[in-house]
Amino acid sequence: MAMKLLRAFTDHPATVGESYFGHLLAATGFGLRMLVAGVACLVHGLFPFLCVTTGSDAMRGLHAEMAARCAKAQAASQSAASGIANTSRVGA
Protein backbone atom coordinates (compact mmCIF):
# COMPACT_ATOMS: atom_id res chain seq x y z
CA MET A 1 0.00 0.00 0.00
CA ALA A 2 2.71 2.49 0.98
CA MET A 3 4.76 1.62 -2.12
CA LYS A 4 1.72 2.15 -4.33
CA LEU A 5 1.19 5.58 -2.78
CA LEU A 6 4.87 6.46 -3.20
CA ARG A 7 4.75 5.40 -6.86
CA ALA A 8 1.83 7.78 -7.42
CA PHE A 9 4.23 10.61 -6.61
CA THR A 10 7.32 9.30 -8.40
CA ASP A 11 6.24 7.45 -11.55
CA HIS A 12 5.50 10.47 -13.74
CA PRO A 13 8.54 12.52 -12.66
CA ALA A 14 10.71 9.49 -13.46
CA THR A 15 9.33 9.36 -17.02
CA VAL A 16 10.73 12.84 -17.63
CA GLY A 17 14.03 12.14 -15.88
CA GLU A 18 13.27 14.04 -12.68
CA SER A 19 12.94 13.33 -8.99
CA TYR A 20 9.73 14.29 -7.22
CA PHE A 21 11.26 17.52 -5.90
CA GLY A 22 12.92 18.37 -9.21
CA HIS A 23 9.58 17.92 -10.93
CA LEU A 24 7.86 20.00 -8.24
CA LEU A 25 10.26 22.89 -8.83
CA ALA A 26 10.01 22.67 -12.62
CA ALA A 27 6.21 22.47 -12.62
CA THR A 28 5.97 25.34 -10.12
CA GLY A 29 8.20 27.48 -12.32
CA PHE A 30 6.07 26.75 -15.38
CA GLY A 31 2.86 27.41 -13.47
CA LEU A 32 4.03 30.73 -12.05
CA ARG A 33 5.16 31.93 -15.48
CA MET A 34 1.77 30.93 -16.93
CA LEU A 35 -0.01 32.87 -14.18
CA VAL A 36 2.07 35.98 -14.87
CA ALA A 37 1.40 35.63 -18.61
CA GLY A 38 -2.31 35.21 -17.87
CA VAL A 39 -2.38 38.40 -15.83
CA ALA A 40 -0.56 40.16 -18.69
CA CYS A 41 -3.28 38.92 -21.07
CA LEU A 42 -6.00 40.27 -18.76
CA VAL A 43 -4.21 43.62 -18.57
CA HIS A 44 -3.89 43.61 -22.36
CA GLY A 45 -7.61 42.90 -22.70
CA LEU A 46 -8.44 45.98 -20.61
CA PHE A 47 -5.68 48.18 -22.02
CA PRO A 48 -4.86 46.98 -25.56
CA PHE A 49 -1.79 49.21 -25.74
CA LEU A 50 -0.14 47.39 -22.78
CA CYS A 51 1.48 43.94 -22.75
CA VAL A 52 0.94 43.63 -26.49
CA THR A 53 3.14 40.54 -26.94
CA THR A 54 3.80 39.50 -23.33
CA GLY A 55 1.38 36.57 -23.26
CA SER A 56 2.34 35.14 -26.64
CA ASP A 57 6.06 35.64 -25.93
CA ALA A 58 5.69 33.76 -22.65
CA MET A 59 3.82 30.89 -24.30
CA ARG A 60 6.43 30.56 -27.07
CA GLY A 61 9.21 30.51 -24.47
CA LEU A 62 7.41 27.97 -22.29
CA HIS A 63 6.71 25.76 -25.30
CA ALA A 64 10.35 25.87 -26.40
CA GLU A 65 11.52 25.01 -22.89
CA MET A 66 9.02 22.15 -22.55
CA ALA A 67 10.00 20.75 -25.97
CA ALA A 68 13.69 20.86 -25.01
CA ARG A 69 12.98 19.12 -21.69
CA CYS A 70 10.97 16.41 -23.46
CA ALA A 71 13.71 15.85 -26.05
CA LYS A 72 16.32 15.59 -23.29
CA ALA A 73 14.19 13.08 -21.35
CA GLN A 74 13.58 11.00 -24.50
CA ALA A 75 17.28 10.96 -25.35
CA ALA A 76 18.16 9.85 -21.82
CA SER A 77 15.50 7.15 -21.94
CA GLN A 78 16.71 5.85 -25.30
CA SER A 79 20.31 5.93 -24.10
CA ALA A 80 19.41 3.94 -21.00
CA ALA A 81 17.42 1.44 -23.08
CA SER A 82 20.34 1.11 -25.48
CA GLY A 83 22.73 0.50 -22.60
CA ILE A 84 20.48 -2.24 -21.23
CA ALA A 85 20.25 -3.85 -24.67
CA ASN A 86 24.04 -3.68 -25.14
CA THR A 87 24.82 -5.21 -21.73
CA SER A 88 22.39 -8.06 -22.34
CA ARG A 89 24.37 -9.03 -25.47
CA VAL A 90 27.74 -9.02 -23.72
CA GLY A 91 27.30 -12.48 -22.19
CA ALA A 92 25.65 -13.96 -25.29
Q: What is the pLDDT of residue 92?
A: 47
Q: Can you give the pTM of this predicted structure?
A: 0.73
Q: Residue 12 pLDDT more than 80?
A: yes
Write the pLDDT tens digit of every residue in 32-58: 999 999 999 999 999 999 999 999 999
Averaged pLDDT for residues 4-26: 90
**Is the pLDDT reported for residue 91 higher than 70?**
no
Check whether 87 has a pLDDT greater than 70. Answer: no
How far is the C-alpha of 67 from the C-alpha of 91, rounded, in Å? 38
| Residue of 11, 17, 13, 10 lying closest to 75 (CA atoms) | 17
